[in-house]
A and B are shown apart, each in its own frame.
Chain A
Amino acid sequence: MIEKKVLLNKLDRGEAILRAVKMGSEKIVSLIKDSELRGRGGAGFPTGIKWERVLNQSEKERYLICNADEGEPGTFKDRILLEEYTEKMIEGMIIGQIAIGAKKSFIYLRQEYKFLAEKIKNTIEEYKKLFGDKVDFQIDLRFGAGAYVCGEEFALIESLNGFRGEPRNKPPFPTEKGFKNKPTVVNNVETLCNIPHIVLNGASWFKKFGVKGCYGTKLFSVAGDVEKPGIYEVEMGIPLIELLEHVGGVDSKAVQVGGYAGTTVVPEDYYKTLCFGDLPPGGSIIVIGKNRDMGKVLENILEFFLEESCGQCTPCREGNYRLLEGLRLLRDGKASIKYLKTLFTLCDVMKISAKCGLGQSSPNSFLAIMKNFKDEILYNER
């Protein structure tokens, strides 16, 4: 059995909070640092270090933001956590507030998940009643309004600040100048859900799961041409093939790993592992069946980025447009095959010079699909 139940297990309400209150800021932060927990949103930045940076700021007005703007296509693991394990996220947030010394935190929930708002609000109220006298915390629920890029931490902060959700230049990082230009931690829902478990069971317990440099369990949203779609909790670092075998997706043409911003993995590479540094463990697995038209798959992905780019930096705004246009021209025989080389160069440039992660990762699938399925797309009988 490859499934591990940690996040998808029951949590004894409030025990972690009580323990955290006793521990105090420094101890919590050093525990999280010891656990080497890395952000579950995709970038994988060590959570403890993020917290420590805010804790060390001289500015006392600080904020914690729970990034519940799960917009990566193919990802729905946070939906399950928000719906069925709301209390874990809330506990993670309360502990986070204690750890970094924030009086206030926000949940930035994507509008598409508005139907979960009631449950979240009620849970916050319950915790307020149970622990309001022991911990000074405040959690506000805010909504996105349909913009994928707001999953990027600075875009999210700008959105909360009341501006267009456009990523900023870094540095300064949110830990220095975030919400209202005050030190701010932005953590993904799943990251926060790990927190109470670590507080209760310790860092070395957490590090029993996963592989070196990439500990813990991880939720994967599995969908597409697969026998058993759903949420699976597995250890970090398992080979993709094992997960595919478990869910009935081995017999496929390719797998989109890590959502549209991830990459397209072909069967020869199914042996690779899901962890930072190998296949992106963001949480989305879309299995692409044998009979799917890869040109159409890529078109779908690029159309998405064209629309969801914030549109401020050149490589992303114009680059994604040129990739989509190029795909269509090449597919329809209206551009020389040589043009593909130009587009590959463009992809490389986007990866290194776009302003934020969106533009830096949007060419991944173009590169993967155009390299692996060139014949299918370019030399068709259309």
Chain B
Amino acid sequence: MIECKVDYLKRIIEDVLKVHGNHRSSLLPVLIAVNDKIGFISDMALVEISKQMDIPIAEIHGVMSFYSFLNKKKKGKYVIRICRSLSCEFKGKNRIKNVIMRELGIGVGETTDDGLFTLEETNCIGMCDRSPAMLINDRPYYNLTPERAIEILESYRGGKII
């Protein structure tokens, strides 16, 4: 299993580099692509990127840790990011957060046992005219109500994403 993992990683990173090139200026696109494909960037992945791009691992980790969408640890299949900026806060973001926490049985920063969801708070996602809002992976959801939030979670659980 371990060997497969290395080979798998190696191949993924090779593929990513084929698309983005291995210049220093490709580093962020490479990190984003690896993060998208595997869900997080492990030490193993950092070593492999360092090897293939010839950038010291310390620098790659320094860059990676700067950006909040790049994950150091494995997260849920679906990362829920609730907007915590003022307009969402005014429009009841905390109610939505509480509902989701209760539904999923996790706190902010935690992942459900089944590995399906991670709950996070994030800064403004630019949906202020439709507050409160959240992102699930890349997809924005807005004008949320507690009922709507539960409905959305259910749809992800059932595999029929709305």
Contacts and interface: CB of A to CB of B under 8 A. Distances in A.
Given A75-B128, A112-B122, A162-B26, 18 more contacts: A71-B124, A72-B124, A73-B85, A73-B86, A73-B123, A74-B124, A111-B32, A115-B139, A143-B28, A143-B29, A147-B68, A162-B27, A223-B131, A224-B90, A225-B90, A230-B129, A231-B129, A256-B86
A286 B90 CA distance: 10
B28 A224 contact: no
Contacts of B124: 71-75
Given A115-B139, A162-B28, A225-B90, A145 B126 contact: no
27 contacts: A73-B85, A73-B87, A110-B126, A111-B138, A112-B135, A112-B140, A114-B138, A143-B29, A145-B32, A145-B69, A146-B68, A146-B69, A147-B68, A160-B28, A161-B25, A162-B25, A162-B26, A162-B63, A164-B63, A165-B66, A224-B128, A229-B128, A229-B129, A231-B129, A284-B128, A300-B89, A310-B66
B87 A74 contact: yes
Interface in B118-136: 122-131, 135
B97 interface: no
Interface residues of A, number: 52
B22 to A, nearest CB: 10
B82 interface: no
Contacts of A248: none
A223 B87 contact: yes
A148 interface: yes
Contacts, number: 125
Interface string A221-245: 1111100011100000000000000
A74 B85 contact: yes
A289 interface: yes
B75 interface: no
Interface string A102-123: 0000000011111100000000
Contacts of A286: 86-87, 128
Interface of A: 70-76, 78-79, 110-115, 142-148, 159-165, 179-180, 221-225, 229-231, 256, 284, 286, 288-289, 292, 297, 300-301, 304, 307-308, 310
A225 B128 CA distance: 11
Nearest to A223: B128
Contacts of B55: 162
Interface in B28-48: 28-29, 31-32, 35
Nearest to B64: A145
A307 to B, nearest CB: 7
A78 B128 CA distance: 12
A254 B30 CA distance: 43
